[in-house]
Structure 1
Amino acid sequence: MELNEQNIGCPYCGETISVLIDRQEAGTQYIEDCQVCCRPIVFQISEDMSSNLVVTVCCEDDVV
């Protein structure tokens, strides 16, 4: 398991939080609560053309 630390901005409260992302989760989507406001953040994990992890976050209501 290869964990990568990423800083993301909570789409609800705007606080920057640090999360650990497992490279094996690339291509998946999951929900994790904000460490500050406790609201559910949707994480979408992917890899770019150079195999770098790309973490996109959004509000639960924004998921299509």
Structure 2
Amino acid sequence: MIETLTIDCPYCGETFSTVVDCSAGDQAYIEDCVVCCRPIECRLTVTPDGPVLTVQRDDD
């Protein structure tokens, strides 16, 4: 299942959309901000209520 989620960049604060593939289950990956190009640590958790995406700075 493919979902489009909205996240806020932990560096520049800009909001942007990202596409996640929930069929692979829980995941951790790095995605660059589309505005400031800094690396964002993303953690996708697939729950019965839908996907939950948490983000944090790569340098934390």
> Normalising by structure 2, what TM-score?
0.89
1:61 is matched with which residue? Answer: 59
Structure with the bigger percentage of helix = 1
- The range that moved more, 53-62 or 24-33, is 24-33
Q: Quick check: which one's strand share is greater?
A: 2
Cα-Cα RMSD: 1.2
4+ long deviations beyond 3 Å: none
* Gap runs ≥5 in structure 2: none
Distance 2:3 2:41 in 1: 18
Q: TM-score, normalised by structure 1?
A: 0.84
Unpaired runs of 5+ in structure 1? none
- Sequence identity (%): 43
Corresponding pairs, count: 60
